[in-house]
């Protein structure tokens, strides 16, 4: 049902695209969605602190889908076309993957963690679609390869950070707990670009 709500919101963007493209409404939507994502991210970390669960090993926004939330906020606030190019391939793909294979442990609706998770990742999807519909941004083939390069370099940096912290960001050091995630991401989880390629294949076949 939660995924269905996100799909409906995405459809609404296209159905009411002419209204959204009006300058005043477009600006209001951009800043409102950015504020929602920022509030969601802030309350999530406050909740982790309250639960004594915040840790450098697990709570830094270094997973690609978590980083996408922060980048989506910046993209919406700055109306950045360059950032959209990266977000279309890496951000949209990683967020869809997170939604389809949520790693929420024991938390389910209506727990705060469940709601925050789908608001943040669903918000990234809506943000990317909004840039396509309202701002008429379009991805380019060169940007696809630049995104792959950036994600590879990012993964290399995260690998060394994982070694230093004893963490497992990007699931580079070991496979995720979910068997479904393992299936979708392939047997070689250390290749973090699978997250990007998942989106690329879906959108260019």
Contact 193, 90 (CB under 8 A): no
59-75 mean pLDDT: 96
43-61 per-residue burial string, b: 16 or more CB within 10 A, e: under 16: bbeeeeeeeeeeeeeeebb
Segment 82-123, tens digit of pLDDT: 999 999 999 999 999 999 988 888 888 889 999 999 999 999
In DSSP notation, 107-147 reads --TTSHHHHHHHHHHHHHHHHHHHHHHTS-----HHHHHHH
Taking the domains of the chain in order of start, what are their residue ranges? Answer: 2-204
Quick one: tokens of 12?
């609404």
Among all chains, which residue has been given the structure tokens 């709570």?
Answer: 59
pTM: 0.85
Least confident of 12-26, 33-47, 145-159: 12-26
Segment 36-64, tens digit of pLDDT: 999 999 999 999 999 999 999 999 999 99
pLDDT reading at 25 higher than 50 = yes
Per-residue confidence at 178, pLDDT binned at 50, 70, 90?
Answer: low
Nearest CA among 71, 66, 63 for reference residue 171: 63
Q: Report CA-CA distances (Å) from 135 to 8, 15, 30, 185.
A: 20, 15, 10, 32
Cα 112 from Cα 109, distance rounded (Å): 8
3-state helix, strand, coil in the chain (%, to 5): 75, 0, 25
pLDDT reading at 140 higher than 80 = yes
């Amino acid at each position: 049902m939660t995924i269905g709500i996100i799909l409906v919101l995405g459809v609404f963007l296209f159905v009411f695209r002419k209204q959204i493209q009006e300058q005043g409404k477009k600006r209001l939507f951009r800043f409102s969605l950015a504020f929602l994502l920022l509030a969601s991210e802030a309350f999530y970390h406050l909740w982790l602190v309250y639960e004594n669960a915040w840790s450098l090993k697990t709570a830094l926004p270094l997973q690609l889908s978590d980083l996408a939330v922060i980048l989506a906020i910046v993209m919406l606030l700055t109306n950045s076309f360059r950032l959209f190019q990266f977000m279309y391939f890496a951000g949209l793909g990683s967020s869809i993957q997170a939604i389809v294979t949520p790693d929420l442990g024991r938390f389910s609706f209506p727990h705060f963690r469940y709601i925050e998770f789908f608001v943040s990742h669903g918000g990234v999807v809506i943000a990317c679609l909004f840039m396509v519909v309202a701002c008429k941004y379009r991805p380019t083939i060169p940007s696809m390869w630049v995104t792959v390069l950036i994600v590879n370099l990012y993964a290399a940096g995260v690998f060394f950070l994982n070694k230093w912290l004893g963490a497992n960001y990007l699931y580079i050091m070991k496979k995720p707990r979910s068997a479904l995630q393992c299936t979708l991401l392939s047997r070689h989880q250390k290749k973090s670009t699978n997250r990007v390629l998942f989106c690329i294949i879906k959108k260019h076949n």
